[in-house]
Amino acid sequence: MTEHPDTPPVSAVFALVPVVFLLSGLSLAVYLFGDSASAGPNQIVLILTTCLIVMMASMRGVRWKILEEGMVHGISLGIGAIMILFAVGMLIGSWILAGTVPTMIYYGIKILDPGFFYAAAAGLCAIVAISIGSSWTVAGTMGIGLMGIAASFDLSPAITAGAIISGAYFGDKMSPMSDTTNLAAACANVDLFAHIRHMLWTTTPSIVIALAVFTVLGSAQGETPDQVATLTAVLQSQFNLGVHLLLPLATMLYLAYKRFPAFPAIIACTLLASVMAVLFQYPQVQALADSGDNLSPALTTLKATLISLFDGYSADTGNAFLDRLLSKGGMSSMLTTVWLIICALALGGVMERLGILEYLLNLMLRGVKSTGSLVATTVSTCIGTNVLASEQYMAVALPGRMYRNAYTSRGLSPLNLSRTLEDSATITSPLVPWNTCGAYMTATLGISTLAYAPYAVFNIVCPIVAIVYAYLNIGQKPLETDLSMKAEATA
């Protein structure tokens, strides 16, 4: 959606005042509330910034209907993400009740070594994400189990989340089945597999650096704590564990590999886990229902299943650590995140409708003097769009559309643009707390964005590598080479 024809031209004051207000407000919220800023303060700042823009636009004669349409359109972009969030909340509750998550934790403790856990978590998530093309699916399935295993080893949850996200986004970026990978190639009008090959220039050193950092961080860990033996014993006493309980996980990965839509796939695996809970964990089903009102077995089962879906699982194992670890999930656990996403997308929608985002993009282009500055500007623009528009698809599509001519006019192949879009827009989206990706990762992994962001090494390093390569003229494909390759392919 572009600037509405009935809106006046954007001025510097009209574009920059809301941005300054937003960034100042968010900084103040973080200063006052720290990691909990996303639990409410950030939402207030986003709403107040939207109100400021509405007031300024109204003073310039913009009708409320136009502003409302912009907000509604912005929010509509996130409806799919919101529905997936609710579905993931249900999935987590049902997977714990079914014993799927406890089984993942139990076997993970026995297989993984604490000294190599962070690097192993990143590598495992990377492999699976390449196979299925979805960072969200990896975080919402394997990520949950890996977070539980890390807690059992008394490892840092923030570093673990950073490793999961690093691996998941590496795999997502390099997979031909990824939606953002296809979007970036389409925006730059390049061949998908040529785009993926060209990304190896920046992606390979970035993931190598990330794995090296996670290996060093893991080597500082001590031996497996004594409580692990206690935890495995408690898990065995509370749940009927077995490899067969990993069927929901295997089904989820299979459906993702087959490109089944995310929402129905998650719902299907949630229902499968609910059935398995009744078949294999009936004592836990009864305990969750707390049926002191003499319900029939059928109604007890229905009550427990519904509780796990809307309010999550509540553990009562007698082990305080394990109770905290397994008491989570449910649609209700996602409400704060959904609130954040709606507020952020409303702001991004009205900024796009009024032409503010396009004005800021054009403003960034004025300082471009070389290939290095062009790539650096593209990276900065994509990160800025992730911050202001709160949606990674918009952060890929808008700069992709605006900067295409800038690359060709400098004699650069559009493959450089498509790669840079992925190196910045896709990769940095989970580092912004109010972006749909950052909000999703926080809600799914249970770690605030500000806590895990410093350890999302791949996501931090990749944009830096892209800029350094551009200034050193490494891996920058010229337009002539690209055109000659197309001519040869046509011939």
447 DSSP 8-state letter: -
pLDDT-based confidence at 291, cuts 50/70/90? low
Mean pLDDT of 72-98: 89
The answer to whether the beta carbons of residues 139 and 444 sit under 8 Å apart is: yes
Can you give 304-342 as a three-state secondary structure string? HHHHHHHCCECCCCCCHHHHHHHCECCHHHHHHHHHHHH
Alpha-carbon distance of 431 to 385, in angstroms, equals 13
pLDDT at 92 over 60: yes
pLDDT score recorded for residue 112? 83
Whether pLDDT at 299 is above 50? yes
**217-248 pLDDT, tens digit each:** 988 765 556 667 778 888 898 999 999 999 99
Q: What is the C-alpha separation between 57 and 349, in angstroms, rounded?
A: 14
pLDDT for 26: 87
- For residue 223, with 0-12 CB atoms within 10 Å meaning exposed, 13-18 middle and 19 or more buried, which class applies? exposed
pLDDT of residue 221: 64
Cα separation of the two ends of the chain: 38
**C-alpha dist (Å) from residue 209 to 35, 213, 435, 461, 489:** 27, 6, 26, 8, 36
131-135, 223-227, 238-242, 284-288: which range is least confident on average? 223-227
pLDDT (0 to 100) of residue 223: 53
**Distance in angstroms (rounded) separating the CA atoms of residues 145 and 150:** 9
Q: Residue 478 forms beta bridges with which residues?
A: 412
pLDDT over threshold 70, residue 486: no
pLDDT digits (tens, 9 = 90+) for 249-263: 899 888 888 878 888
414 vs 131, higher pLDDT: 414
How far is it, in rounded angstroms, from Cα 334 to Cα 385? Answer: 24
Supply the pLDDT for residue 481.
57
User: Which pair of tokens denotes residue 456?
Assistant: 């999302």
pLDDT value for 482? 52
Q: Give the pLDDT confidence score for residue 230 in this predicted structure.
A: 79
> Which has the closest alpha carbon to 388: 74, 166, 59, 162?
74
Least confident of 89-98, 226-235, 480-489: 480-489
- Distance, CA of 399 to CA of 360 (rounded, Å): 11
Please check the confidence at residue 84 and state whether its pLDDT lies above 70: yes
Please say whether the beta carbons of 144 and 98 come within 8 A. no
What ranges make up the beta strands (E) of 38-125? none
- Residue type for 296, please? S
Confidence (pLDDT) at 233: 87
Percent helix / strand / coil, the chain, rounded to 5: 80, 0, 20
The per-residue pLDDT for range 30-73, each reduced to its tens digit, is 889 887 888 889 899 999 999 999 999 999 999 999 999 999 99
Q: In this predicted structure, what is the pLDDT of residue 1? A: 44
Structure tokens, 25? 């407000």
Least confident interval from 269-283, 322-336, 419-433: 322-336
Using pLDDT thresholds of 50, 70 and 90, give the confidence band for residue 388. Answer: confident
Q: Phi/psi of residue 82, each to 5°?
A: -65, -45
Position 453 confidence tier, pLDDT thresholds 50, 70, 90:
very high
Give the residues across from 313 on adjacent strands.
328
Unique residue bearing structure tokens 């989340």:
161
Going by C-alpha positions, the residue among 380, 371, 364 that lies closest to residue 408 is 371
Tokens of residue 426, six digits: 């896709």
318 phi and psi angles, rounded to 5 deg: 90, -10
Burial class (CB in 10 A: 0-12, 13-18, 19+), 267: middle
In order, the DSSP letters of 360-374 are: HHHHHHTT--SHHHH
Whether the per-residue pLDDT at 86 is higher than 80: the answer is: yes
CA 164 to chain centre: 11
Give the residue, 132 or 63, on which the prediction is more confident: 63
Quote the mean pLDDT of the chain. Answer: 88
With contact defined as beta carbons under 8 Å apart, do 455 and 161 qualify?
A: yes
Nearest to 28 by CA among 45, 53, 46: 45
Can you give the pLDDT at residue 28?
92
The residue among 54, 415, 349 whose CA lies nearest residue 201 is 415
Which residues contact residue 407 at a Cβ distance below 8 angstroms, ignoring those fewer than 6 apart? 374, 413, 414, 416, 417, 479
The pTM assigned to this predicted structure is 0.83
Mean pLDDT (whole number) for 337-343: 88
Top-confidence range, 126-130, 334-338, 454-458: 454-458
Helix (H) or strand (E) holding 414: helix 414-421
- Cα dist from 6 to 16, 51, 389, whole Å: 21, 20, 22
